[in-house]
Amino acid sequence: MAVTLPEVVEELLSEMAAAVRDGARSTARGLLNSTPHVPDEHLSSLKFVFGSSAIQALDLVDRESVTLISSPSGRRVYQVLGSSGKTYTCMTSCHYCSCPAFAFSVLRKSDSLLCKHLLAIYLSQVMRNCQQLSVSDKQLTDLLLMEKTQEA
């Protein structure tokens, strides 16, 4: 049975999450510092699969550029403050990002699985370094409509 690249990425992220959880348990016992630690072999694997996007995504996570916006109805979107200073809206449920790199490299050319913003979201979840913002359903709708009018 052939293994696909998305399955490899999912497995890698699962292993990274387990390593961070194990590190958190050690921290609770006073064995390590409080910063989530991702083993070097996982970082090397990320770099192998995603190239320079992995480094850029990790930088976004380090700068706490990822925000999960949720509403009472359970809807969730992410906003990522990109390195250019522009904020991109992302949805992990359908693997979408509003950045031009996603439209070109992921959708048009199909030479990448994710843009750096989506990868930063997945890494921020693994590393437990995601900002949280709760808004009303109307505010979330307005945010998405504003994003849509800016794209047009």
User: Considering the chain, what is the average pLDDT of its residues?
Assistant: 88
CA 106 from centre of chain: 15
Span 99-139, pLDDT tens digits: 999 999 999 998 888 999 999 999 999 998 999 999 999 99
Q: State the pLDDT confidence band at 2, using cuts at 50, 70 and 90.
A: low
pTM: 0.85
As a whole number of angstroms, the distance between CA 8 and CA 132 comes to: 28
Span 23-62, pLDDT tens digits: 766 655 555 555 567 888 989 999 999 999 999 999 999 9
b or e along 12-41 (b: 16 or more beta carbons within 10 Å of the residue's beta carbon)? bbebbbebbeebeeeeeeeeeeeebbbeee
Q: Where are the domains of the chain?
A: 40-151
